[in-house]
Amino acid sequence: MRESIIRLEGATKRFPLPEGGTITALDAIDLDVARNEFLTLLGPSGCGKTTLLHVISGFVQLDQGKILIDGDDMGTTPPHKRPVNTVFQNYALFPHMSVGDNVGYSLDIAHVGKAERVKRVGEALDLVGLGGYAARMPRQLSGGQQQRVALARAIIARPKLLLLDEPLSALDRNLRQAMQIELKNLQAELGISFIFVTHDQEEALTMSNRVAVLNGGVIQQIDTPRNTYNYPANAFVASFVGASNLFDGEVRRDGDKIVITTPENDTVEAVLRDERSLNGGGKLTAMLRPEQFSLSGTGGADNCAEIDVTVDQIVFIGSTYELLGKTAGGRQINALLSASHQTRIGEIEQSGKARLSYDPAAVHLIPADDAGAAQ
């Protein structure tokens, strides 16, 4: 781990409930964010991600624990004195001020000289692709351009840490995808740490060096996007980050493989790579992503396993077909199949039956004591 720009130790925050009692928004969270890292806080509504962002910015005070930024304890430091800036979901631009005045507002508060102000405003606008827009008013800009102005205003003060609270959620899909790449490039160019909050898994996987998946005020997993997707730590992460097919049940050995049998008597074959996966007393959850299925007889691993499915629906989504169905035991199955097998897929639509194959070596195993975590 590179040198940390921010560290949280046992960060705990509770909020009172109207009916009495409290709810724990953050539950003893430990977190390190490295310099020049793009970390995304990902999770459903109410998981604690925005509270965590507000704790870092100083708008919310911890009940317990510590927060250090660049080695300094921020416990009593007010928001305006922290080396942090925030980009909000609604941009929060001043409608009566020009783009240049919006961007340069923090420099005015700091009494920066006019020549230096003009120089830095111009540099900030150039950095976000809005050179020459300083005289325009916010109402004259598109949503994406307003977002860039908010970014320029946040980075002009040269913070050590930039916090982004779902800043792309109001943009249409195409613009949002373009802004994801721009934000990642901007972060690399600035060389400062970004902490980005979203409930959109695509954003998290696209932009981040690491993803912290939260639920119930607890970090369920913090890892690279690839590891988070391919090797989820528990069933919550497996279900929240991407689509998944989960089979939980008893384990028996079958040569160099194991077989997981669900209570409904469905079976999944897998390769056991780590004996520690069996620390739940012979119970495991097996995960297969939809794209890991193929139609039997269309190629794949020599030692592939198969599963029969009753088809409920087949949806054409361009380069692939999404097959939705049920196993013999009634478990829901979601499979993504190549559109190159259009003839076979037409036959399946007629019969309502499909035989899917998968590689047992591709099955990810979740230990029993982790399988139901945070559900």
Domain limits, the chain: 4-234, 236-371
- Which residue bears the tokens 């970090």? 219
Helices and strands of the chain, counted as H and E runs: 11, 20
The fraction of the chain above a pLDDT of 70, given in percent, is 94
- Distance (Å) of CA 172 to CA 142, 179, 341: 11, 10, 32
Residues 228-239 have a mean pLDDT of 94
SS3 assignment, position 356: strand
Q: Which residues contact 94 (CB under 8 A, 6 or more apart)?
A: 101, 102, 105, 138
- Cβ neighbours of 256 (radius 10 Å): 9
CATH of range 4-234; options 3.40.50.300, 3.30.1330.200, 3.30.565.10, 3.30.70.980: 3.40.50.300
Q: What value does the CA radius of gyration of the chain take, rounded to a whole number of Å?
A: 25
| ∠ Cα 238 242 247 (to 5°) | 40
Measure Cα distances from 363 to 91, 115, 191 in Å. Answer: 43, 61, 38
Q: Which residues of 163-185 are buried (b: 16+ CB within 10 A; e: fewer)?
A: bbbbbbeebeeebbeebbebbbe
Quick: pLDDT tens for 246-264.
999 999 888 778 999 999 9
User: What confidence tens digit (pLDDT) does each residue in 67-114 have?
Assistant: 999 999 998 899 989 999 988 877 788 999 999 999 998 888 888 899
Q: Which residues contact 300 (CB under 8 A, 6 or more apart)?
A: 294, 357, 358, 359
The Cβ of residue 344 has, within 10 Å, a number of other Cβ atoms equal to 17
SS3 string of 122-145?
HHHHHHCCCCCCCCCCHHHCCHHH
Q: Which pLDDT score, from 0 to 100, does residue 369 have?
A: 60
Which residue(s) pair with 351 in the sheet? none
- CA–CA dist 80, 110 (Å, integer): 11
pLDDT tens digit sequence for 290-313: 999 999 876 655 688 999 999 999
Given a cut of 80, is residue 2 above it in pLDDT? no
In Å, the largest CA–CA distance within the chain is 77
Give me 42's structure tokens.
């990902």
The reply to whether domains 4-234 and 236-371 share a CATH topology is no
CA distances from 250 to 22, 231, 244, 259, 283 (A): 38, 20, 19, 8, 5
Q: Which of 361, 355, 350, 316 is nearest to 336 (CA)?
A: 316
Average pLDDT over residues 207-213: 95
Give residue-wise pLDDT tens across range 136-170.
999 999 888 888 888 888 888 888 999 998 888 77
How would you list the strands of the sheet with 294-295, edge to edge?
A: 294-295, 353-358, 305-316, 320-326, 332-338
Residue 2: DSSP 8-state: P
- Options 2.30.30.60, 3.30.70.20, 3.40.50.300, 2.40.50.140; CATH for 236-371 is 2.40.50.140
The pTM of the full predicted model, rounded to 2 decimals, is 0.86
Report how far residue 322's alpha carbon sits from residue 355's, in angstroms, rounded to the nearest whole number: 14
35-77 pLDDT, tens digit per residue, is 999 999 999 999 999 999 999 999 999 999 999 999 999 988 9
Q: What per-residue confidence (pLDDT) applies to 298?
A: 65
> Model confidence over 125-145: pLDDT tens digits?
988 888 889 999 999 998 888
pLDDT at 184 over 70: yes
Q: For the chain, what is the mean pLDDT?
A: 89
